[in-house]
Structure 1
Amino acid sequence: MPTPSVHSTHLSSKHTFSKTYTPTITLLPGLGVQNDCHSGQTTRHQSQASTNPSAPNLRQVHLIPYELFRDLSSQNITIQPGELGENITTYGIDLVSLSKGSYLYFGQGDDVPIVQVTGLRWPGPGIEKHSKGLKEKVLVKARDGKVVSKVGIMGVVVKGGEVSTGDLIRVVEPQGTRVALEPV
């Protein structure tokens, strides 16, 4: 597997399905991506905020593996990084196989931004509006029969700082019992 790294970074100040490429994003502890519409201590996801606006925001940062775009391309579906609403497109990490509670360290050294993985992103109706037939391509059956979403993971910012295209990523999984990711 290649060295885990940041392929690209994206944000949007408005609730649009896709996010715009920017070479660097700033992570704010306990909030998310600075100037992004999903930043905040309580949920900012529109459907969740309408039913429980005081719920903690477990979807501060959305990450998708670049490998998904290559896989979709091989199925004649052309989607570019940022189009599926992610803040960080990664390279070289099987994100959906991580354990809940895993830590992602961005950059080198000790003083780097850290995101803790909270769960899977589950595709809503917007994914079909964006590209007809895409939802069936990103929901797959796992060996145990459960349906798994391939459209990335969600996390919360534990330590803030800048994340830039090309940054290395170090993954630290929690000790003890492994907990499979569930939709958040």
Structure 2
Amino acid sequence: MPSPAPDTTVLAVHRDREHRFGKCRVGAIELQAGLGVVDDAHWGRKVQHRSRVKADPEQPNLRQVHLISAALFAHLETLGFAVGPGQLGENISLADAPGLGWRELIALPTGTRLHFAQGPVVELTGLRNPCAQIDHFQPGLLAAMLERMADGRLIRKTGVMGVVLQGGRIQPHDALRLELPPAPQRVLERV
């Protein structure tokens, strides 16, 4: 039986039909199973991220939905950066919740399922890797989004990626329940 995980709510939702750095805040997003966020540039069964399409356009799309904890914005503020919901290109900004800050979000295991109040289910596939474009948004932000642990492992703070298992609507203030996968669990890797 999976151990219980903290729950939270949705702070804001975003989408953009174009491949731009940030995404536009909207009142609600619609998810489609196996495809992602309707009317978003990353919607589709096959990879949509431009650099990944160049490498192999036939790869499955493991980056249908991007999620970030609002606790990351507060963390970045302590480092001298002003970043808000949607500005890092996420589809879903999660409200800061006890036990589910930015560190806990990126530490969830692969296969964690996020059950949203109105029915959508997103399964985590990996970590978002920050790219050099982030320094065009705010100089020095790329370095702030990466951290080395004492053992040399790299921490990527830019949130998690997932695929849509069950479609439906998501909007601000929707509750979210996490379901951890059974053991053995695998750490999220860059996707």
Q: TM-score, normalized by length of structure 1? A: 0.95
Residues 39-48 or 172-181, more deviating: 172-181
Q: Flag as ranges the 4+ runs of structure 1 deviating above 4 A.
A: none
Report the aligned-residue RMSD: 1.4
Identical positions, percent: 39
Q: Which residue of 2 aligns with 1:99?
A: 109
Q: Distance in 1 between matches of 2:150 and 2:8?
A: 25
Q: 1:27 to 1:143 in 2, by over 3 A?
A: farther
Cα drift, residue 178 of structure 1: 1.6
Q: Unpaired runs of 5+ in structure 2? A: none
Q: Distance in 2 between matches of 1:182 and 1:26?
A: 26
Q: Distance in 1 between matches of 2:166 and 2:6?
A: 25
Superposed CA offset, 1:5-55 (max 9, x none) = 111000000000000001210001000000000000000000000110010
Q: Distance in 1 between matches of 2:51 and 2:63?
A: 12
Structure 2 matches for 1:19-168, cutoff 5 A? 19-91=23-95, 92=97, 93=100, 94-107=104-117, 112-168=119-175
Residues 35-44 or 92-101, more deviating: 92-101
Q: Distance in 1 between matches of 2:172 and 2:150?
A: 34
Structure 1 counterpart SS, 2:17:
coil
Q: Distance in 2 between matches of 1:177 and 1:98?
A: 13
Q: Which residue of 1 aligns with 2:19?
A: 15
Structure 2 counterpart SS, 1:30:
coil
Q: Distance in 2 between matches of 1:22 and 1:117?
A: 23
One of 156, 165, 179 as aligned partner of 1:172: 179
Count how many residue pairs are aligned between Structure 1 and Structure 2.
Answer: 181
Q: Distance in 2 between matches of 1:134 and 1:45?
A: 21
Structure 2 counterpart SS, 1:68:
helix
Cα drift, residue 145 of structure 1: 2.2
Q: Distance in 2 between matches of 1:107 and 1:115?
A: 12
Letter of the aligned partner of 2:169 in structure 1?
A: E
Structure 2 counterpart SS, 1:59:
coil
Cα drift, residue 126 of structure 1: 1.2
Q: Unpaired runs of 5+ in structure 1? A: none
